Amino acid sequence: MSNKELGYYNKIKNWDFSMIKFEEENLTNWDMYEILNKYADEKSIILDLGTGGGERVLKEFPKAKKIIGTDFSEEMIKTAKRNLEKSNKNNIEFRVMNNLNMDTEDNFFDIVVARHTCISAKQIYKTLKNRGKLILRGVDKLDCWSLKRLFNKGQAFNDIKPISQIDYENILDAGFKNVELVPIYIREYYKTKEDLLSLLLKTPILDDFSEERINLKLKNKEIDLKKLDLYIKDNTFDKGILLRRRYYGIFAEKII
């Protein structure tokens, strides 16, 4: 993780998305939490990379022996620890860690989960036990593509190779077996312009953010509201303002 990327995420301290009103249509039969629950049991030790405020760990993760959630943002981990205090769960730990400079034990985890975050496939492979599983979901280049084209910028907009392909190849090169890559298509309908704007101000969708980690320009968030109004005009339906999301899922196993 470069200092610029770390600075980007530390700048955005309000990571609470609960007030944003939208509904979701999942067009792809791939759910990382269903897969996680399939392979985890009460003896499992699980690592969650890019845990954010820990909401997913606390709500979606199965009962396990130990769950460690990490994030490179101190602000996010502070939020996660506050959420943990409210949960009364004693098998979960949250702490700061850089995904690209992992300090976890070798051959320690049964499952590693990574959601919308950068990874080091080699370091994940090293920290997994034999027969350990990697379950990853990421944001791909064509996510919100019509919106990015209108603004002529956005996350991975100028990248030549999709991040899904980069992750897939790196996971294979790290030594993982049974690697599966699944494109994920989701429609999100935002209730109001304010809901959509709130999302865009909290995420790097319209930022000059290279997933290939070549170029990142940090600046104050600026959203051209005239262009946003044009997008809303062309993409408003009965359910709300449509965003076409493009994610990807990867499942892989460490088999020695």
> Any residues with CB less than 8 A from the CB of 239 and at least 6 apart, and which?
23, 189
Domain CATH number, residue 147 = 3.40.50.150
Asked if residue 89 has pLDDT above 70, the reply is: yes
Portion of the chain with pLDDT greater than 90, in percent: 79
- Residue 42 belongs to domain spanning: 3-253
pLDDT in tens, 50-63: 998 999 999 999 99
List Cβ<8 Å contacts ≥24 apart for 220-225: 223/197, 224/151
Alpha-carbon gap, residue 49 to 154, rounded angstroms: 23
Structure token digits, residue 189: 């309908």
Say which residue the tokens 């309908």 belong to: 189
Alpha-carbon gap, residue 33 to 172, rounded angstroms: 22
pLDDT in tens, 225-242: 999 999 999 999 999 999
Average pLDDT over the chain reads 90
Mean pLDDT of 63-69: 97
Helix axes 193-202, 225-234, angle to 10 degrees: 120
Rounded alpha-carbon distances, angstroms, from residue 72 to 93, 155, 187: 15, 19, 29
pLDDT in tens, 194-228: 999 999 988 889 987 665 544 444 445 678 999 99
> Any residues with CB less than 8 A from the CB of 149 and at least 6 apart, and which?
none
* Domain total of the chain: 1
What is the pLDDT at residue 188? Answer: 98
What is the pLDDT at residue 218? Answer: 42
Asked if residue 13 has pLDDT above 50, the reply is: no
Which bin fits 138, alpha (ψ -120 to 50), beta or left (φ > 0)?
beta
φ and ψ at 21, to 5 degrees?
A: -95, 115
What is the pLDDT at residue 2? Answer: 44
97 pLDDT band, cuts 50/70/90, is: very high
Mean pLDDT of 2-7: 48
